[in-house]
Structure 1
Amino acid sequence: MQFHMIAGGPTPVAPFSHAVETDGFVFVTGQMPDTPAAPGVLPEGIEAQTRNVMENLKIVLAGLGLGLEHVTMARVYLTRFKEDYAAMNATYRSYFAEGRLPARTCVGVTGLAYDALIEIDLVARRPEAP
């Protein structure tokens, strides 16, 4: 098992690794909607926060030589589920190729770190060597 911290990656809000890898699977910790350049500073609105979360996930994946095309499962957490679900989906959807959406769960929660509107974690799979 490998525990990964990505240089230049998002600043952790708690004691965790950016990702843990075992048997070809990569479990990426839920990312927040701040940026590595401005930890704890969140943009307004669900679209901007969703974009920041997805960009943070891309940073972590890239640090491991992976991309969103390797994602098999995503979990989305929303603090304003009814209000933000449709707009989040539209933004989230734009990050994946047509017909290549990972399995996903989306749940409403009562709170997230930094009072964020959204957090997303991922499971990815390394391609098998030829």
Structure 2
Amino acid sequence: MSMPQYHMLAGAPKPVAPFSHACEIDGWVFVTGQLPIDPIVDETPLPEGIEAQTHKTFDNLLTVLKGLGLGLENVVSTRAFLTDFYRDYETFNALYAEYFPEGRRPARTCIGTNGLARHALVEIDFVARRPDAA
């Protein structure tokens, strides 16, 4: 087993706590949960509503993946956290399906929670696998 690599990626949002954007070991890439934060101006207010926040969160996740030479096709598992689960679950699922079409959907857990950093409505993390990993 190799030693883990810790990645901080240019263009990704500034972390809201002490963590790396991603950690990688033996071809597995664990992408830290991303929020709908503006990666350029940290103090920018979060977008309004679950739709805009979900799209912004995916933008940030895609920035991290791209910085590692990966894409959504490499994602094998996701976790999503919603602060208003019953209100936002159906809308979130419809948006999520735009990013992961049928036949190419990773394993997923979706959790209702009572709060997220920055008062976000959604946070998503990924586990990805490099295609050339043994």
Match of 2:83 in 1: 79
Match of 1:118 in 2: 122
SS in 2 for 1:7: coil
Q: Is contact 2:27–2:133 with CA below 8 Å preserved after alignment?
A: no
The within-5 A match list for 1:77-116 is 77-116=81-120
* Percentage of identical aligned residues: 62
**Two-structure CA RMSD over aligned residues (Å):** 1.3
Shift of 1:92: 1.2
TM-score norm. by structure 1 comes to 0.96
Q: Which amino acid aligns with 1:22?
A: I
- Please list every run of 5 or more consecutive structure 1 residues that lacks an aligned counterpart in the other structure: none
Shift of 1:35: 1.8
- Please list every run of 5 or more consecutive structure 2 residues that lacks an aligned counterpart in the other structure: none
Structure 1: 4+ residue segments shifted above 6 A: none
What is the number of residues matched between the two proteins? 130
Q: Is contact 2:26–2:133 with CA below 8 Å preserved after alignment?
A: no
TM-score norm. by structure 2 comes to 0.93
Shift of 1:129: 6.2
